[in-house]
Amino acid sequence: MDMKKTLIIIAALLSLSSCHFLEIEKVGKSDIETYFSEITSLEPAIYGVYSLVQPVYDKYMNMYPSLAADEIDLSATSTTWAYYYNFMRTSSDEASMLGYLWKYGYNVINNCNQIIEHAPKLREDYPHDADLVDRVVGQAYFVRALMHFELVRCYGQNYTFTSDASHLGVPIVDHVLGLTEKISRNSVSAVYKHIVSDLRTSLEKYPASYNPSQYFASPIASKALLARVYLYMEKWQEAYDMAAEVMAAKTLTSRANYVDMFCKTASVSDDEGLFRLNGYKQGRSSRSFYYYESPEGRPSEKVTSLYTADDIRASLMTYGTYGKVCMKFCTTDETTQDEMKYYNATVIRLSEVYLIHAEAAAHLGKNSEALDDVKALEARARGVDASEISFSESDVLKVIAEERIKELCFEGHRFFDLSRRHEDIERPSTTSSTVKHITYPDWRYVLPIPQVELSANENITPNPTSNE
């Protein structure tokens, strides 16, 4: 045997094991580029996004805006929320809402950015599936806007805190970031501008035929959210127009189905929801927070005292013999099957759009039009004709504010309604909180930026006072 042959054999052995040997497909995981190389990946990616959005509301946004304001009496045994109820949270409380909302919020945004970034290539590679790509991308833009909106209203002061909204908001993340990028906080005005632009883009992206159920982002959801954003910006005309557009396209849930809209797992036939989060197999922290058998938070007197006896909405504030409980997060058609014990969180629904319309109209001087919107909701709630209800036009803003509590309590509005209207927080005297009153303006209207972020990214400015 000569050496040549041996060397050939060895060479053959070496070449056999080329570098492909080291390429392994990871099961259940694939690298990002591989994942987005196929069109079939796009739909699961947006479903994944919704599964990440749900906890933002379930764990935090269904409680915080109510309990930081005056809608909730917190149980003395509640440990998770006591710091928020008493405004004692500090930036090092990372294992609570202020850490998680930041973390979850940006994680959702990063997921949306992956979709938005990879979509153009897929659209090019799969021209027949252009509609699918557009519909997913439209939803990604909507969710990205929604998360920026939640972040900016929690960590930043309200839009009109400074006259030009130049005060600090949150970082805008509009592309996939590199590991070394150090991003800083944008002004509130820039963030709102970006939100509006994302919502507008979503409307451009949705294909004409796209009309999904209320559990997905949709053109009407984008418009409704736009209306809300304009309201926060006090761009009354835009809010008024946008709300009108939504109202023209949708009808309110009937009185008969009103309670079921919250208390049944299956959606009612005339559900007025514009964007809701389906709770099937998702977390249900809100349910246990409000659960009637042992609620952590009960509706405060400030809410319950507003309803008249015939108001159907009052029946969502109590259940059986359990006293004052909020029934917007527990279903009453539960089976023993554990996975059927869920609720669907409401992010935005038509009644809110009526009230946006009303508030914008009032600011535009159209008081009677504004009161008509309120009357429509009151009439449904009380089962009477709108003509039987009368309000004084001079009280129009107060009427709307009160109606917003009656209609939208526990749905993530109260705290931000107070701050955007520059109102104080005035809790009922019976509150167990150490804080009974906060005079606007105050840094307690915003959450401290979590310490993890401050340590990892020196470009982030902490919120004053609350980050002392």
Partner 1 sequence: MSGVVTDESGEPLIGVFVFQKGTKNGVSTDLDGKYSFAAPKEGSSYVLVFQYLGMKTEEVTVEKAGEINVTLQNENSLAEAVIVGAYGTKQSREDLVGSAFQVNSDALKDKPKTRMDTLLDGLVPGMTIESNTDAAGSTRTRFETRVRGDASLSASNEPLWIIDGVIQYTGDKNNQMPGMSYTVSPLSYLDPSDIESITVLKDADQVSIYGANGANGVILVTTKSGGYNTPLRVNASVRFGVAAPDYTTMFKMMNAEQYMVVAKEAWTNAGYDMKDFPLQDNDYNSYSTTSTDWAREYLGLGTDLYAQIGVSSGTKKASNTTSASYYRNTNVVQSDNSQRFTVRMKQTFKPVDQLTIGVGLSGSYNINNLFPLGKQYLSTLPVFSPYENDGYTYRLYNRLWDAEKGDWVMKKFYDNEVPTRELNDNRQTTGVTKFNANFDWEIIKGLSVSSTVGVDYQSSHEDIYYSRETLDGQSDGQKVGSSSKKDASYLSFTNSNLVKYRHSFGDHSLDVYGGLELHAQSNKYSYISGSGFTNDHIKELEYASTISSYSYTNVNQSRSMSYFLRGQYSYDHRYYFSANFRRDGSSVFGKYSRWGTFWSFGTSWNIHKEHWFDSNRITMLKVKASFGSAGNSRIDGSVASGTYQYGDSNSYMGVSGAVLGTMPNPGLSWETTLQFNIGARIELKNILAFEAEYYNYNTSDLLSKVYVSRTISDDRLYANVGCIRNQGVEFNLTTYNIHRKDFSWTTTFNASHNDNKITKLYNGVTTSFGSTVWKEGYSTNCYCLIRWAGVDPSDGSPMWYDADGNLTKTYSYDNRVAGRTSTPFFFGGMVNDLRWKNFSLSIQLNYNIGGWAYASYAHNYMADGYDITGGNQAVEVYYYRWTTPGQSALFPKVMQTSQHSTLYTDRFLYNKTNFNIKNLTFTYSMPENVVKAIKMRSMDLSFVCDNVYLFTPGMSRKFNSYKTVMNGYPVTRTFSLSINIGI
* Rounded CA separation 78/85 (Å): 10
First to last CA, the chain: 82
Q: Residues near 173 by Cβ (< 8 Å), separated by ≥ 6?
A: 106, 109, 110, 113, 183
The site for partner 1, by CB under 8 A, has a size of 63
For residue 294, give the DSSP letter. Answer: S
| Sole binder of partner 1 in the list 182, 398, 422, 437 (CB under 8 A) | 182
32 counts as binding partner 1 under rule CB under 8 A: yes
Q: Candidates 25-33, 131-139, 314-322, 356-364 — which segment interacts with partner 1 by CB under 8 A?
A: 25-33
177 counts as binding partner 1 under rule CB under 8 A: yes
408 counts as binding partner 1 under rule CB under 8 A: no
The nearest distance, CB 24 to partner 1, in angstroms, is 5
Parallel/antiparallel/unpaired status of strands 425-426 and 437-438:
antiparallel
Give whichever of 50 and 440 is closer to partner 1, judged by the CB atom: 50
Q: Which residue has the tokens 């599936």?
A: 129
| Sole binder of partner 1 in the list 87, 215, 440, 443 (CB under 8 A) | 215
The nearest distance, CB 249 to partner 1, in angstroms, is 23
The nearest distance, CB 247 to partner 1, in angstroms, is 27
Nearest to 173 by CA among 182, 165, 162: 182
Tell me whether residue 372 is exposed, middle or buried, using C-beta atoms within 10 angstroms of its C-beta: 0 to 12, 13 to 18, 19 or more: middle
Parallel/antiparallel/unpaired status of strands 345-349 and 297-299:
unpaired
Q: What are phi and psi of 234, to 5 degrees?
A: 60, 35
90 counts as binding partner 1 under rule CB under 8 A: no
208 counts as binding partner 1 under rule CB under 8 A: no
Q: How many residues does the chain have?
A: 468
Instruction: Give the DSSP H or E segment for 379.
Output: helix 367-382
Give whichever of 6 and 308 is closer to partner 1, judged by the CB atom: 6
| Sole binder of partner 1 in the list 76, 179, 248, 309 (CB under 8 A) | 179
| Sole binder of partner 1 in the list 110, 160, 265, 288 (CB under 8 A) | 110
* Rounded CA separation 460/468 (Å): 15
The nearest distance, CB 426 to partner 1, in angstroms, is 34
| Sole binder of partner 1 in the list 166, 434, 455, 465 (CB under 8 A) | 455
CA distances from 396 to 173, 379, 381, 424 (A): 39, 17, 19, 19
Give whichever of 21 and 385 is closer to partner 1, judged by the CB atom: 21
210 counts as binding partner 1 under rule CB under 8 A: no
Tell me whether residue 49 is exposed, middle or buried, using C-beta atoms within 10 angstroms of its C-beta: 0 to 12, 13 to 18, 19 or more: buried
Give whichever of 168 and 314 is closer to partner 1, judged by the CB atom: 168
38 counts as binding partner 1 under rule CB under 8 A: no
Tell me whether residue 397 is exposed, middle or buried, using C-beta atoms within 10 angstroms of its C-beta: 0 to 12, 13 to 18, 19 or more: middle
Which residues from 324-363 bind partner 1, rule CB under 8 A?
Answer: 339
Q: Candidates 65-73, 157-165, 301-309, 455-463 — which segment interacts with partner 1 by CB under 8 A?
A: 455-463
Which residues from 221-280 bind partner 1, rule CB under 8 A?
Answer: 278, 280
79 counts as binding partner 1 under rule CB under 8 A: no
Nearest to 214 by CA among 243, 239, 246: 246
The nearest distance, CB 160 to partner 1, in angstroms, is 26
412 counts as binding partner 1 under rule CB under 8 A: no
**ω into residue 441 within 30 of 0, thus cis?**
yes
Strand intervals (E) in 235-294: 273-277
> Coil, strand, or helix at residue 345?
strand
* Rounded CA separation 369/354 (Å): 11
| Sole binder of partner 1 in the list 202, 282, 285, 367 (CB under 8 A) | 282
The nearest distance, CB 111 to partner 1, in angstroms, is 5
The nearest distance, CB 108 to partner 1, in angstroms, is 9
Residues near partner 1, by CB under 8 A = 1, 3, 6, 9-10, 13-14, 17, 19, 21-24, 26-32, 35-36, 41, 44-52, 54, 102-104, 106-107, 109-111, 114, 171, 173, 177-179, 181-183, 215, 278, 280-282, 339, 450, 452-453, 455-457, 460
